[in-house]
């Protein structure tokens, strides 16, 4: 008899411990098992299985409880490796979450240790049997096909030998067995780079390869050929027989990167992002697990794949906020990637034109090894013009498209070049106000304005997704005088551009047009094939795109992000402007950028306009120092949410009273209601993250009842 310790899928914090069960057989760590728990059957995740050194009776007597038996084993082999097991514990420590939630975050949904489990799809396969039987020539041909292949999916055999396949099984010449459906990959085939590296690129590659450091920050202006540097490093690692993980911040960037990677390294490749179905994800997971993929292109969650032999992680656009997970465990991909590289003696390359303040500050202190690319491959930075929209509108120019932008578009259309226009807001109007009481039409579930979407004439809440028709009477004052409209999003911009340039072919790319599977890929491919002249979109078009015939980028409402009260709003605005500007003039033709703003003198705008990261860094660091914000301090945000506003604020006050130490515990801040939940936040701020973490962790351990609706975010990137 074995004693098996299991983690249980249970959101309750004080159940974050293992439970013991008995089993006749040994079960490996990381397998899922069915276990009885409080009159229910739950799924457990095996932590350990050890032979019992006494009889079951003796054990039960000594411990004072009866040991229940495992009711079933769900996996033949462990789902995670030893490394991932250790990583779960590390993640639990740094994010202050439960162990089981860390395992959950790591596994593809079909095999998550959750109570509602779906099964991985199995396929029927055939192989030849030992039975002797007489066959017709055609049957023999089919039989030999199977015999030569060793084994074959039944569907493949049936396709080639429609009726014969079934007969062979009836005759018992073939036997059927089941196997988990698998994705296919092929072996490594490297196509050499189409061009020689320039001096800077060569130096960067050599410096990284010859160094023993683990973490590198590759700071390279947009268009400096960072991707080529990544590929050279990847090639070296692949040739050594080790695996490479290539992380991109957004699913929208995966099609282009997959395309570039597969042209270079063939289909010795796995892909992992949220656009895949649960089954597809599982298949890709297994490809990596069984070492059948050398290079993986993926978003955030790909950092948990069970690599056998990891040699390199590349984190492209490392500053991007989507590398941080919102829900618990709210980990940052960078921390996980660092753990994995240390564990595997692999290298981590953080790449960006606009590194996060934290990363650059660390690189300057030599915590990370800094490598820079200062020149664009074509050696021409785009010309950036700032348009002051307040002045432009006083002169009677169009509120969305200034005269400068209009003329710029006209010129590109004439020259048959392409244009990208960025507006980081979707929908048609951004808000509707009652003509009588002047109240903004808000989401019934959140305290936030709803946006008008012309397609379907509906109001959408961009926070919770709630939709409704424009009401005939005002929900606040019951008047039927109607609403006035304010602000605009990509839909209205599209209409405006179309009105100005009826002959131009326009593609719009935002969350509304990319909901369908492969939509990102299809829209970008169409633009890449020059099936459109103008690409209009939200931030999803600002990053990574590399289209040589784009010579004009227009940025509409470029400084809108500065209105946010977040401590990082200048940084994110600067990043967005720099990234968007970087899409222009990437080949021989010099690029132009027209930046429409309301505050042309703000340093986030002026530094972006002169493509001057270092000057932005200096000014922003001075501001962060003045307000003692990260990276000068660490933050832990604790958010309480509840449908009951009183319970919410009581809980928040209790936390504020009870968590204290050698750091600052801020007052309770009431946040806007979201998805019917009232929300209160307490912010801890201090110079020693360990002390802060311990204080929160001790508080959690001291709670007899589970603290309901409490969300903890260590190093939060957004405070809303």
Which positions touch ligand ADP (CB under 6 A)? 195, 197-198, 201, 220, 222-228, 377, 546, 586
* Whole-angstrom distance, CA of residue 270 vs CA of residue 249: 17
Listed in sequence order, the residues at least 6 apart from 277 whose beta carbon sits closer than 8 Å to its beta carbon are none
Q: Give 212 or 379: the residue with its C-beta nearer to ligand ADP.
A: 379
**Which listed option, Zn ion, ligand ADP, none, makes contact with residue 461 (CB within 5 to 8 Å by class)?**
Zn ion
- Bridge partners for 521 per DSSP: none
Q: Give 144 or 672: the residue with its C-beta nearer to Zn ion.
A: 672
CA atoms lying within 13 Å on the CB side of residue 312: 28
Q: Give 77 or 379: the residue with its C-beta nearer to ligand ADP.
A: 379
631 upstream amide cis, omega within 30 of 0: yes
Q: Give 39 or 374: the residue with its C-beta nearer to ligand ADP.
A: 374
**Which listed option, Zn ion, ligand ADP, none, makes contact with residue 546 (CB within 5 to 8 Å by class)?**
ligand ADP
If binding is defined by CB under 5 A, does position 507 make contact with Zn ion?
no
**Which listed option, Zn ion, ligand ADP, none, makes contact with residue 217 (CB within 5 to 8 Å by class)?**
none
Ranges within 455-474 binding Zn ion (CB under 5 A): 461, 463-464, 466, 474
Tokens of 239: 């040739």
CB of 196 to ligand ADP, least distance (A): 6
* Whole-angstrom distance, CA of residue 712 vs CA of residue 240: 41
**Which listed option, Zn ion, ligand ADP, none, makes contact with residue 225 (CB within 5 to 8 Å by class)?**
ligand ADP
Q: Which helix (H) or strand (E) holds 606?
A: helix 603-609
CB of 222 to ligand ADP, least distance (A): 4
Among 209, 437, 590, 622, binds Zn ion (CB under 5 A): 437
CB of 612 to ligand ADP, least distance (A): 17
CB of 586 to ligand ADP, least distance (A): 5
542 upstream amide cis, omega within 30 of 0: no
If binding is defined by CB under 5 A, does position 449 make contact with Zn ion?
no
How many CB atoms lie under 10 A from the CB of residue 111? 22
Size of site (CB under 5 A) for Zn ion: 14
Q: Give 47 or 546: the residue with its C-beta nearer to ligand ADP.
A: 546
Residue 717, helix vs strand vs coil: coil
Q: Give 39 or 199: the residue with its C-beta nearer to ligand ADP.
A: 199
If binding is defined by CB under 5 A, does position 446 make contact with Zn ion?
yes
If binding is defined by CB under 5 A, does position 477 make contact with Zn ion?
yes
Sort 667 into a burial class: Cβ within 10 Å, 0-12 / 13-18 / 19+: exposed
Q: At what angle do helices 99-106 and 82-95 cross, to 10 degrees?
A: 120
Tokens of 426: 């979707």
CB of 443 to Zn ion, least distance (A): 3
* Whole-angstrom distance, CA of residue 662 vs CA of residue 645: 30
Q: Give 226 or 340: the residue with its C-beta nearer to ligand ADP.
A: 226
Give the neighbor-by-neighbor strand order of the sheet with 310-316.
269-272, 295-298, 243-247, 310-316, 347-352, 215-220, 369-373
Q: Give 110 or 295: the residue with its C-beta nearer to ligand ADP.
A: 295
Whole-Å CA distances, 469 to 331, 441, 456, 462: 38, 11, 9, 15
**Which listed option, Zn ion, ligand ADP, none, makes contact with residue 261 (CB within 5 to 8 Å by class)?**
none
**Which listed option, Zn ion, ligand ADP, none, makes contact with residue 713 (CB within 5 to 8 Å by class)?**
none
Closest CA to 375 of 211, 620, 611, 615: 611
**Which listed option, ligand ADP, Zn ion, none, makes contact with residue 357 (CB within 5 to 8 Å by class)?**
none
CA 134: distance to chain centroid?
57
Ranges within 89-118 binding Zn ion (CB under 5 A): none
* Whole-angstrom distance, CA of residue 288 vs CA of residue 306: 6
Q: Give 148 or 374: the residue with its C-beta nearer to ligand ADP.
A: 374
Q: Give 352 or 656: the residue with its C-beta nearer to ligand ADP.
A: 352
**Which listed option, ligand ADP, Zn ion, none, makes contact with residue 695 (CB within 5 to 8 Å by class)?**
none
How many CB atoms lie under 10 A from the CB of residue 345? 11
User: Where along the sequence are the contacts to Zn ion (CB under 5 A)?
Assistant: 434, 436-437, 443, 445-446, 461, 463-464, 466, 474, 476-477, 479
């Amino acid at each position: 008899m074995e004693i098996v310790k299991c983690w249980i899928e249970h959101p309750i914090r004080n159940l974050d411990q293992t439970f013991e069960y008995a089993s006749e057989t040994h079960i490996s760590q990381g397998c899922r098992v069915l276990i009885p728990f409080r009159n229910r059957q739950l799924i457990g995740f095996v932590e350990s299985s050890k032979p019992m050194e006494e009889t079951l009776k003796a054990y039960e007597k000594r411990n004072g409880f009866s040991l229940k038996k495992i009711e079933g084993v769900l996996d033949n082999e462990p789902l995670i490796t030893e490394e991932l097991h250790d990583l779960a514990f590390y993640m639990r420590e740094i994010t202050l979450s439960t162990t089981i939630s860390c395992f959950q975050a790591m596994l593809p949904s079909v095999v998550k240790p959750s109570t509602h489990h779906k099964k991985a799809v199995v396929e029927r396969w055939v192989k030849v049997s030992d039975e002797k039987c007489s066959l017709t020539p055609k049957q023999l041909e089919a039989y030999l096909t199977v015999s030569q292949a060793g084994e074959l999916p039944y569907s493949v055999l049936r396709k080639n030998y429609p009726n014969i396949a079934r007969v062979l099984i009836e005759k018992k010449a073939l036997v059927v067995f089941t196997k988990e459906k698998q994705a296919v990959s092929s072996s490594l085939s490297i196509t050499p780079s189409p061009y020689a590296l320039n001096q800077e690129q060569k130096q960067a590659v050599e410096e990284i390869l010859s160094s023993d450091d683990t973490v590198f920050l590759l700071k390279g202006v947009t268009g400096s050929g960072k991707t080529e540097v990544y590929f050279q490093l990847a090639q070296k690692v692949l040739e050594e027989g080790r695996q490479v993980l290539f992380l991109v911040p957004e699913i929208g960037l995966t099609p282009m990167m997959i395309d570039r990677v597969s042209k270079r390294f063939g289909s010795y490749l796995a892909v992992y992002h949220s656009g895949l179905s649960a089954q597809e994800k599982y298949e890709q997971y297994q490809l990596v697990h069984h070492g059948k993929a050398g290079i993986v292109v993926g978003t955030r969650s790909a950092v948990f794949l069970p690599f056998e032999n990891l040699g390199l992680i590349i984190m492209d656009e490392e500053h991007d906020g989507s590398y941080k997970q919102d829900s618990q465990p709210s980990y940052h991909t960078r921390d996980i990637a660092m753990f994995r590289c240390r564990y595997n003696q692999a290298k981590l390359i953080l790449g960006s034109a606009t590194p996060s303040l934290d990363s650059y500050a660390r690189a300057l202190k030599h915590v990370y090894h800094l490598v820079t690319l200062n020149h664009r491959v074509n050696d021409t930075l785009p010309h950036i013009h700032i348009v002051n929209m307040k002045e432009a509108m006083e002169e009677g120019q169009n509120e969305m498209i200034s005269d400068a932008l209009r003329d710029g578009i006209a010129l590109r259309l004439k020259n048959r070049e392409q244009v990208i226009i960025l507006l980081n807001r979707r929908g048609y109007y951004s808000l509707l106000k009652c003509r009588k009481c002047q109240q903004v039409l808000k989401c019934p579930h959140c305290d936030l304005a709803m946006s008008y979407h012309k397609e379907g004439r509906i109001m959408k809440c961009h926070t919770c997704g709630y939709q409704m028709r424009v009401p005939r009477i005002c929900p606040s004052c019951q008047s039927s005088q109607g609403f006035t409209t304010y602000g605009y999003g990509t839909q209205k911009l599209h209409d405006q551009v179309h009105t100005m340039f009826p002959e131009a072919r326009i593609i719009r790319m935002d969350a509304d047009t990319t909901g369908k599977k492969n939509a990102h890929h299809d829209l970008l491919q169409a633009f890449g094939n020059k099936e459109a002249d103008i690409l209009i979109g939200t931030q999803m078009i600002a990053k990574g795109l590399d289209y040589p015939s784009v010579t004009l980028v227009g940025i509409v409402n470029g400084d809108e992000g500065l209105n946010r009260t977040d401590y990082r709003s200048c940084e994110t605005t600067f990043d967005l402007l720099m990234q968007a500007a970087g899409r222009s003039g990437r080949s021989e033709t010099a690029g132009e950028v027209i930046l429409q703003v309301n505050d042309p003198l703000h340093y986030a705008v002026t530094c972006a306009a002169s493509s001057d990261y270092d000057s932005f860094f200096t000014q922003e660091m001075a501001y962060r120092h003045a307000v003692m914000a990260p990276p000068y301090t660490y933050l832990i945000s604790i958010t309480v949410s509840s449908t009951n506003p009183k319970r919410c604020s009581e809980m928040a006050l209790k936390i504020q009273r009870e968590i204290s130490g050698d750091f600052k515990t801020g007052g309770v801040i009431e946040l806007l209601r979201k998805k019917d939940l009232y929300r209160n936040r307490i912010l801890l701020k201090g110079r020693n993250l360990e002390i802060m973490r311990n204080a929160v962790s001790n508080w959690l351990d001291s709670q007899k009842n589970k603290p309901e609706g409490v969300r903890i975010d260590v190093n939060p990137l957004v405070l809303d």
